[in-house]
């Protein structure tokens, strides 16, 4: 089975199984004045009781004085103590929110909050689509732990500002203690490992900004298989696979496939974003998830052939999120398609690169069959993750990029796409929304693309094209529901031609009814009169 059919099946299933946990939505005023700078998460994992205990330190900057600080943390935990700037303070923990009342008010500027807590994490019943901890064993009976948090947010296991609009600009530390024999995989670089009689502690650190759903860890009977990757800019980056020990024989070949994927991603999107740290993947008991510099992988080395070579569709998709979702990040879940739609478009670029234009076009023809098109891709503003997470943000979002490529032409489209992935105005700590993407591509095109964004991203309409026979051998063709000229391929009795259509009818001569957009660059309906 081709990857596209597996993927469309997956996205439909995802859309039908919304998560019970969610993050984002309308930002609380008390949190809007916080700029999170750094998280330090220090936890001990009790695999027998399936519980955790420890503390998290949150460094932040307040834009104005405040008498209250608010942090998200699920009610599964007992919060034992809270300190603000090393002074123990009173607090309330209810409705998954830690409320810290301050007398006198906390002044504007830097502050440090430490929360000590313990409890049983929420268990993921269907990871990665339903978030939480997955307490598992591998095929040899060894302990295996996975954490997923994209929908539910970091509050699943650490206190945080649970909103996509704010990332810790100075990175994060994760200090995780597990039973001896388990190996912990995390984001960034492994700074140290300390092994005791019964436990082992792993200190992971990233100095990059990071979304809080990437601040997760996995633990198991891992072997670390490595190679060195030289980026498109000449930087040497460790490429590491934390693989379950009995799958070690598969790891080097898997990294070879990952390297081939990285080459294509870098061609279109620029250098791998975390070149100062690592390219990491970790084997998990669930299918997979994008986690910055340590992507979760659970597709069990089930390859298909693309361009005659082994290919893993899941790893390619999740790895693409290093650019789309991790480096280029939406500030509102309403704009989720920027992560998933452009990321899925990147999946198709691998097909373009390895199998050519014809295979690429056919891939998008197949995508159309998976659209539900019952809700706009962008449903408004201040949307929570559960509401925003619909299947169409994947394939329909990717198809829109396919349409933009056709409308703009390769000479304008691909440089604009790379600019979105590389320009500091849109990357790392500078988060984006759909308006930013629209403006960037409009500037590159030299004309406003807003009508196209409004039609395909902000509505469920299809491009309506009217074909009216005016007299024998002539047809009047016009656009019915978009106020901008669009170039469209038209096949007549004389062959294929490009025709600029608008609301003003264009006369096309043909002894047979003209075929409109036969290669399906537009999501459309053609009305023959």
Candidates 50, 154, 36; CA nearest to 96 is 154
474-520 pLDDT tens trace: 999 999 999 999 999 999 999 999 999 999 999 999 999 999 999 99
Between the alpha carbon of residue 405 and those of residues 71, 90, 411, 413, 515, the distances in Å are 42, 56, 9, 5, 21
For residues 11-34, give the mean pLDDT. Answer: 70
Query: Residue 41: is its pLDDT beyond 50?
Result: yes
| Structure confidence at residue 144 (pLDDT) | 98
273-330 pLDDT tens trace: 999 999 999 999 999 999 999 999 999 999 999 999 999 999 999 999 999 999 999 9
For residues 41-60, give the mean pLDDT. Answer: 98
Separation of alpha carbons 221 and 229, rounded Å: 25
End-of-domain residue from the set 236, 252, 268: 252
| Structure confidence at residue 470 (pLDDT) | 84
420-464 pLDDT tens trace: 999 999 999 999 999 999 999 999 999 999 999 999 999 999 999
Q: What is the DSSP letter of 120?
A: P
Task: Please answer whether residues 23 and 153 qualify as being in contact, where contact means their C-beta atoms are separated by less than 8 angstroms.
Answer: yes
Separation of alpha carbons 115 and 82, rounded Å: 5
Task: Please answer whether residues 137 and 48 qualify as being in contact, where contact means their C-beta atoms are separated by less than 8 angstroms.
Answer: no
End-of-domain residue from the set 226, 252, 278: 252
Largest alpha-carbon pair distance within the chain? 90
Task: Please answer whether residues 408 and 47 qualify as being in contact, where contact means their C-beta atoms are separated by less than 8 angstroms.
Answer: no
Residue 114 lies in a domain: yes
Task: Please answer whether residues 528 and 515 qualify as being in contact, where contact means their C-beta atoms are separated by less than 8 angstroms.
Answer: no
Cα-trace Rg, the chain: 25
Q: How close are the terminal C-alpha atoms of the chain, in Å? A: 39
Q: By residue range, what is the domain housing residue 484?
A: 463-528
253-267 pLDDT tens trace: 999 999 999 999 999
| Structure confidence at residue 13 (pLDDT) | 35
Between the alpha carbon of residue 444 and those of residues 389, 418, 448, the distances in Å are 29, 12, 10
Separation of alpha carbons 246 and 33, rounded Å: 49
pLDDT range class, residue 64, cuts 50, 70, 90? very high
pLDDT range class, residue 9, cuts 50, 70, 90? very low
Mean pLDDT score of the chain: 95
Tokens of 157: 């296991």
| Alpha-carbon dihedral sign for residues 162, 36, 383, 124 | negative
For the domain that residue 42 is a member of, what is the CATH number? 2.60.40.1730
For the domain that residue 500 is a member of, what is the CATH number? 2.60.40.1910
pLDDT range class, residue 20, cuts 50, 70, 90? very low
Residue 402 lies in a domain: no
Residue 314 lies in a domain: no
Burial grade of 30 (CB within 10 A; 0-12, 13-18, 19 or more):
middle
Separation of alpha carbons 370 and 391, rounded Å: 9
Separation of alpha carbons 170 and 240, rounded Å: 23
Percentage of the residues of the chain whose pLDDT score is greater than 70: 96
Query: Residue 1: is its pLDDT beyond 50?
Result: no
| Structure confidence at residue 428 (pLDDT) | 98
Query: Residue 106: is its pLDDT beyond 60?
Result: yes
Residue 37 lies in a domain: yes
In sequence order, what E strands does 384-505 have?
Answer: 463-471, 474-479, 486-492, 495-501
pLDDT range class, residue 17, cuts 50, 70, 90? very low
| Structure confidence at residue 14 (pLDDT) | 36
Residue 281 lies in a domain: no
HEC string of 245-305?
A: HHHHHHHHHHHHHHHHHHHHHHHHHCCCCCCCCCEEEEECCCCEECCCCCEEECCCCCCEE
Total number of domains in the chain: 2
pLDDT range class, residue 21, cuts 50, 70, 90? confident
Residue 385 lies in a domain: no
Residue 40 lies in a domain: yes
HEC string of 344-407?
A: HHHHHHHHHHHHCHHHHHHHHHHHHHHCCCCCCCCCCCCCEHHHHCCCHHHHHHHHHHHHHHHH
End-of-domain residue from the set 252, 286, 310: 252
For residues 338-354, give the mean pLDDT. Answer: 98
pLDDT range class, residue 7, cuts 50, 70, 90? very low
Residue 423 lies in a domain: no
């Amino acid at each position: 089975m081709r990857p596209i059919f597996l993927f469309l099946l997956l996205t439909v299933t995802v859309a039908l199984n919304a998560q019970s946990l969610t993050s984002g939505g309308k930002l609380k005023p008390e949190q809007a004045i916080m700029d999170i700078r750094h998280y330090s998460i220090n936890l001990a994992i009790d695999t027998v009781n399936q519980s955790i205990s420890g503390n998290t330190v949150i460094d932040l900057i307040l834009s104005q004085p405040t008498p209250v600080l608010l942090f998200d943390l699920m009610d599964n935990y007992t919060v034992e103590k809270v300190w603000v700037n090393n002074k123990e303070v009173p607090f309330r923990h209810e409705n998954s929110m830690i409320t810290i009342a301050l007398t006198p008010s906390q002044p504007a500027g830097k502050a440090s909050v430490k929360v000590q807590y313990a409890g049983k994490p929420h268990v993921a019943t269907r990871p990665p689509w339903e978030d939480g901890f997955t307490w598992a064993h591998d095929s040899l009976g060894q302990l295996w732990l996975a954490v997923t948090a994209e929908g539910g947010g970091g509050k699943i296991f650490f206190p945080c500002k649970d909103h996509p609009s704010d990332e810790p600009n100075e990175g994060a530390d994760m200090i995780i203690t597990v039973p001896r024999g388990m190996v912990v995989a995390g984001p960034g670089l492994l700074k140290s490992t300390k092994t005791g009689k019964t436990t082992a502690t792993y200190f992971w650190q990233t100095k990059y900004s990071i979304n809080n759903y990437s601040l997760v860890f996995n633990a198991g009977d891992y072997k670390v298989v490595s190679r060195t990757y030289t980026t498109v800019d000449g930087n040497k980056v460790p490429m590491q696979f934390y693989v379950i020990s009995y799958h070690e024989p598969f790891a080097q070949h898997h990294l070879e496939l990952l390297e081939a994927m990285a080459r294509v991603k870098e061609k279109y999107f620029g250098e791998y974003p975390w070149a100062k740290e690592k390219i990491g993947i970790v084997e998990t008991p669930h299918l997979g998830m994008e986690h910055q510099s340590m992507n979760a992988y659970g597709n069990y080395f089930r390859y298909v052939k693309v361009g005659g070579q082994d290919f893993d569709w899941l790893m390619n998709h999740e790895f693409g999120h290093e650019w789309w979702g991790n480096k280029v990040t939406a500030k509102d879940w309403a704009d989720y398609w920027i992560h998933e739609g452009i990321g899925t478009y990147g999946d198709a670029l691998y097909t373009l690169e390895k199998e050519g234009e014809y295979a690429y076009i056919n891939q998008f023809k197949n995508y159309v069959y998976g659209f539900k098109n019952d809700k706009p891709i962008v449903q408004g503003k201040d949307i929570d993750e559960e509401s925003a997470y619909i299947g169409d943000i994947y394939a329909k979002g990717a198809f829109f990029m396919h349409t933009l490529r056709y409308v703009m032409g390769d000479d304008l489209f691909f440089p604009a796409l790379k600019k979105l992935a590389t320009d500091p105005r849109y990357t790392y700590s500078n988060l984006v929304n759909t308006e930013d993407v629209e403006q960037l591509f409009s500037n590159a095109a030299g004309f406003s693309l807003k009508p196209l964004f409004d039609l395909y991203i902000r509505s469920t309409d299809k491009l309506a094209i009217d074909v009216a026979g005016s007299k024998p051998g002539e047809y009047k063709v016009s656009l019915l529901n978009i106020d901008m000229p669009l170039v469209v391929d038209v096949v007549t009795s004389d062959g294929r031609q490009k025709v600029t259509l608008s609301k003003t009818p264009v006369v096309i001569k043909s002894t047979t009814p003209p075929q409109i957009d036969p290669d399906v660059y537009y999501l459309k309906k053609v009305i023959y009169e």
